Protein backbone atom coordinates (compact mmCIF):
# COMPACT_ATOMS: atom_id res chain seq x y z
CA UNK A 1 0.00 0.00 0.00
CA UNK A 2 1.40 3.36 -1.03
CA UNK A 3 1.74 5.90 1.77
CA UNK A 4 0.67 9.53 1.53
CA UNK A 5 3.35 12.21 1.45
CA UNK A 6 4.02 13.53 4.95
CA UNK A 7 5.36 17.07 5.05
CA UNK A 8 7.57 18.00 7.97
CA UNK A 9 8.43 14.39 8.82
CA UNK A 10 11.05 14.40 11.60
CA UNK A 11 13.81 11.87 12.12
CA UNK A 12 11.97 10.68 15.23
CA UNK A 13 8.76 10.15 13.23
CA UNK A 14 10.71 8.16 10.66
CA UNK A 15 12.38 6.04 13.33
CA UNK A 16 9.05 5.20 15.00
CA UNK A 17 7.70 4.00 11.66
CA UNK A 18 10.92 2.07 11.05
CA UNK A 19 10.41 0.14 14.29
CA UNK A 20 6.94 -0.99 13.23
CA UNK A 21 8.47 -3.47 10.80
CA UNK A 22 9.93 -6.90 11.63
CA UNK A 23 13.33 -6.94 9.94
CA UNK A 24 14.90 -4.15 12.06
CA UNK A 25 13.96 -6.15 15.16
CA UNK A 26 15.30 -9.40 13.70
CA UNK A 27 18.61 -7.79 12.78
CA UNK A 28 18.76 -5.83 16.03
CA UNK A 29 18.25 -9.01 18.04
CA UNK A 30 21.07 -10.63 16.08
CA UNK A 31 23.35 -7.71 16.98
CA UNK A 32 22.52 -8.03 20.68
CA UNK A 33 23.01 -11.81 20.78
CA UNK A 34 26.21 -11.72 18.71
CA UNK A 35 27.78 -8.93 20.80
CA UNK A 36 26.80 -10.59 24.09
CA UNK A 37 28.19 -13.93 22.90
CA UNK A 38 31.37 -12.21 21.71
CA UNK A 39 31.93 -10.61 25.11
CA UNK A 40 31.38 -13.94 26.85
CA UNK A 41 33.74 -15.74 24.46
CA UNK A 42 36.61 -13.34 25.23
CA UNK A 43 39.95 -14.22 23.60
CA UNK A 44 40.35 -10.78 22.01
CA UNK A 45 43.05 -10.54 19.34
CA UNK A 46 44.14 -7.96 16.79
CA UNK A 47 42.24 -9.79 14.06
CA UNK A 48 39.00 -8.83 15.81
CA UNK A 49 39.71 -5.27 14.70
CA UNK A 50 40.70 -6.37 11.20
CA UNK A 51 37.45 -8.22 10.43
CA UNK A 52 35.17 -5.14 10.73
CA UNK A 53 37.62 -3.07 8.67
CA UNK A 54 37.60 -5.62 5.84
CA UNK A 55 33.81 -6.00 5.94
CA UNK A 56 33.15 -2.24 5.94
CA UNK A 57 35.65 -1.66 3.12
CA UNK A 58 34.18 -4.42 0.96
CA UNK A 59 30.50 -3.85 1.73
CA UNK A 60 29.85 -1.18 -0.96
CA UNK A 61 30.97 -3.69 -3.58
CA UNK A 62 29.06 -6.59 -2.00
CA UNK A 63 25.96 -4.38 -1.90
CA UNK A 64 26.49 -3.49 -5.59
CA UNK A 65 26.83 -7.17 -6.57
CA UNK A 66 23.73 -8.19 -4.63
CA UNK A 67 21.74 -5.36 -6.19
CA UNK A 68 22.86 -6.14 -9.73
CA UNK A 69 22.99 -9.94 -9.66
CA UNK A 70 20.18 -10.86 -7.25
CA UNK A 71 17.76 -7.97 -6.84
CA UNK A 72 17.77 -7.26 -10.58
CA UNK A 73 17.78 -10.93 -11.51
CA UNK A 74 15.79 -11.62 -14.67
CA UNK A 75 13.66 -14.78 -14.23
CA UNK A 76 15.08 -17.74 -16.12
CA UNK A 77 13.63 -21.12 -16.96
CA UNK A 78 16.00 -24.07 -16.61
CA UNK A 79 14.81 -27.60 -17.39
CA UNK A 80 11.23 -26.40 -17.19
CA UNK A 81 11.72 -24.77 -13.78
CA UNK A 82 11.47 -20.99 -13.44
CA UNK A 83 14.20 -19.54 -11.24
CA UNK A 84 12.88 -16.34 -9.71
CA UNK A 85 13.96 -15.82 -6.06
CA UNK A 86 11.75 -14.06 -3.53
CA UNK A 87 14.27 -11.23 -3.19
CA UNK A 88 14.10 -10.58 -6.92
CA UNK A 89 10.30 -10.66 -7.04
CA UNK A 90 9.94 -8.31 -4.08
CA UNK A 91 12.51 -5.94 -5.52
CA UNK A 92 10.54 -5.71 -8.76
CA UNK A 93 7.48 -4.84 -6.70
CA UNK A 94 9.57 -2.23 -4.87
CA UNK A 95 10.43 -0.58 -8.19
CA UNK A 96 6.78 -0.52 -9.20
CA UNK A 97 5.85 1.32 -6.00
CA UNK A 98 8.94 2.77 -4.24
CA UNK A 99 6.74 4.40 -1.57
CA UNK A 100 5.19 1.12 -0.43
CA UNK A 101 6.88 0.93 2.98
CA UNK A 102 6.84 -2.86 3.61
CA UNK A 103 8.53 -3.42 0.23
CA UNK A 104 11.44 -1.17 1.24
CA UNK A 105 12.69 -3.72 3.78
CA UNK A 106 14.49 -7.02 3.26
CA UNK A 107 11.67 -9.61 3.13
CA UNK A 108 11.50 -11.13 6.62
CA UNK A 109 11.19 -14.73 5.30
CA UNK A 110 14.65 -14.24 3.77
CA UNK A 111 16.10 -13.38 7.18
CA UNK A 112 14.58 -16.56 8.63
CA UNK A 113 17.17 -18.58 6.69
CA UNK A 114 19.86 -15.93 6.17
CA UNK A 115 20.52 -15.24 9.87
CA UNK A 116 20.96 -18.97 10.70
CA UNK A 117 23.22 -19.33 7.65
CA UNK A 118 25.41 -16.41 8.77
CA UNK A 119 25.50 -17.93 12.26
CA UNK A 120 26.73 -21.25 10.87
CA UNK A 121 29.40 -19.41 8.88
CA UNK A 122 30.45 -17.61 12.06
CA UNK A 123 30.75 -20.89 13.95
CA UNK A 124 32.41 -23.09 11.36
CA UNK A 125 34.24 -20.85 8.85
CA UNK A 126 36.58 -19.07 11.26
CA UNK A 127 39.63 -20.40 13.12
CA UNK A 128 38.17 -19.35 16.50
CA UNK A 129 34.64 -18.72 17.71
CA UNK A 130 35.43 -15.21 18.94
CA UNK A 131 36.47 -14.10 15.47
CA UNK A 132 33.35 -15.66 13.98
CA UNK A 133 31.16 -13.77 16.45
CA UNK A 134 32.95 -10.54 15.57
CA UNK A 135 32.06 -11.25 11.94
CA UNK A 136 28.42 -12.02 12.78
CA UNK A 137 27.99 -8.91 14.91
CA UNK A 138 29.54 -6.69 12.24
CA UNK A 139 27.34 -8.12 9.48
CA UNK A 140 24.23 -7.65 11.63
CA UNK A 141 25.14 -4.02 12.41
CA UNK A 142 25.67 -3.33 8.70
CA UNK A 143 22.30 -4.98 8.00
CA UNK A 144 20.65 -2.56 10.43
CA UNK A 145 22.40 0.39 8.79
CA UNK A 146 21.31 -0.80 5.34
CA UNK A 147 17.67 -1.16 6.41
CA UNK A 148 17.60 2.25 8.11
CA UNK A 149 19.34 4.04 5.22
CA UNK A 150 17.14 2.44 2.57
CA UNK A 151 13.98 3.15 4.56
CA UNK A 152 14.97 6.77 5.18
CA UNK A 153 15.74 7.36 1.49
CA UNK A 154 12.21 6.28 0.55
CA UNK A 155 10.53 8.14 3.40
CA UNK A 156 9.47 11.79 3.31
CA UNK A 157 12.26 12.81 5.64
CA UNK A 158 14.24 15.63 4.05
CA UNK A 159 18.05 15.40 4.20
CA UNK A 160 19.90 17.76 6.52
CA UNK A 161 23.50 16.76 5.82
CA UNK A 162 25.46 16.88 2.59
CA UNK A 163 26.40 13.19 2.85
CA UNK A 164 22.82 12.00 3.28
CA UNK A 165 21.66 14.30 0.46
CA UNK A 166 24.22 12.64 -1.83
CA UNK A 167 23.22 9.12 -0.75
CA UNK A 168 19.52 9.88 -1.23
CA UNK A 169 20.05 11.51 -4.62
CA UNK A 170 22.14 8.56 -5.86
CA UNK A 171 19.49 5.98 -4.97
CA UNK A 172 16.57 8.02 -6.20
CA UNK A 173 18.27 8.40 -9.58
CA UNK A 174 18.26 4.59 -9.74
CA UNK A 175 14.51 4.48 -9.09
CA UNK A 176 13.28 7.49 -11.02
CA UNK A 177 15.88 8.07 -13.75
CA UNK A 178 17.40 4.79 -14.93
CA UNK A 179 17.53 1.42 -13.16
CA UNK A 180 20.69 0.40 -15.03
CA UNK A 181 22.85 2.78 -12.99
CA UNK A 182 23.37 4.02 -9.42
CA UNK A 183 23.15 0.69 -7.56
CA UNK A 184 24.65 1.93 -4.29
CA UNK A 185 22.29 2.32 -1.31
CA UNK A 186 24.33 3.01 1.83
CA UNK A 187 26.96 5.21 0.20
CA UNK A 188 26.82 8.10 -2.25
CA UNK A 189 28.05 5.87 -5.04
CA UNK A 190 31.39 4.45 -3.92
CA UNK A 191 31.06 1.19 -5.84
CA UNK A 192 29.18 2.86 -8.70
CA UNK A 193 32.11 5.18 -9.40
CA UNK A 194 34.64 2.35 -9.32
CA UNK A 195 32.47 0.02 -11.43
CA UNK A 196 31.38 2.71 -13.91
CA UNK A 197 27.68 2.83 -13.07
CA UNK A 198 27.64 6.46 -11.93
CA UNK A 199 27.41 8.53 -15.12
CA UNK A 200 26.51 12.18 -15.24
CA UNK A 201 22.69 12.09 -14.89
CA UNK A 202 22.38 14.74 -17.59
CA UNK A 203 23.83 12.28 -20.11
CA UNK A 204 21.45 9.42 -19.24
CA UNK A 205 18.03 9.01 -20.80
CA UNK A 206 15.07 8.35 -18.54
CA UNK A 207 14.34 4.65 -18.65
CA UNK A 208 10.79 3.50 -19.51
CA UNK A 209 11.33 0.41 -17.32
CA UNK A 210 12.62 2.05 -14.13
CA UNK A 211 9.29 1.15 -12.52
CA UNK A 212 8.88 -2.07 -14.45
CA UNK A 213 12.11 -4.06 -14.28
CA UNK A 214 12.73 -6.16 -17.39
CA UNK A 215 9.27 -5.01 -18.61
CA UNK A 216 7.70 -7.99 -16.85
CA UNK A 217 4.66 -6.28 -15.35
CA UNK A 218 1.44 -6.38 -17.32
Parent domain of 140: 11-215
127, part of any domain? yes
70, part of any domain? yes
Distance CA 61, CA 104 (A): 20
* pLDDT tens, position by position, 72-126: 999 999 988 999 999 999 999 999 999 999 999 999 999 999 999 999 999 999 9
160, part of any domain? yes
Question: What number of other Cβ atoms are within 10 A of residue 71's Cβ?
Answer: 19
Task: Decide: 192 and 184 in contact? Cβ < 8 Å.
Answer: yes
Distance CA 80, CA 100 (A): 33
5, part of any domain? no
pLDDT given for residue 4 in this prediction:
57
4, part of any domain? no
199, part of any domain? yes
Who wins on pLDDT, 44 or 7? 44
3, part of any domain? no
Looking at the structure of the chain, the number of domains it has is: 1
33, part of any domain? yes
Amino acid sequence: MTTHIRKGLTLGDAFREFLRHPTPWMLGATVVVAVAARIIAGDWQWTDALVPVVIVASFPFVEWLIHVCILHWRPRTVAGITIDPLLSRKHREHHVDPRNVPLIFIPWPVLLWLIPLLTLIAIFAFPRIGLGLTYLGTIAVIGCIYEWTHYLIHSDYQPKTRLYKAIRRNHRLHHFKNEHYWFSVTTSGTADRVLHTAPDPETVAKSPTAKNLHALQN
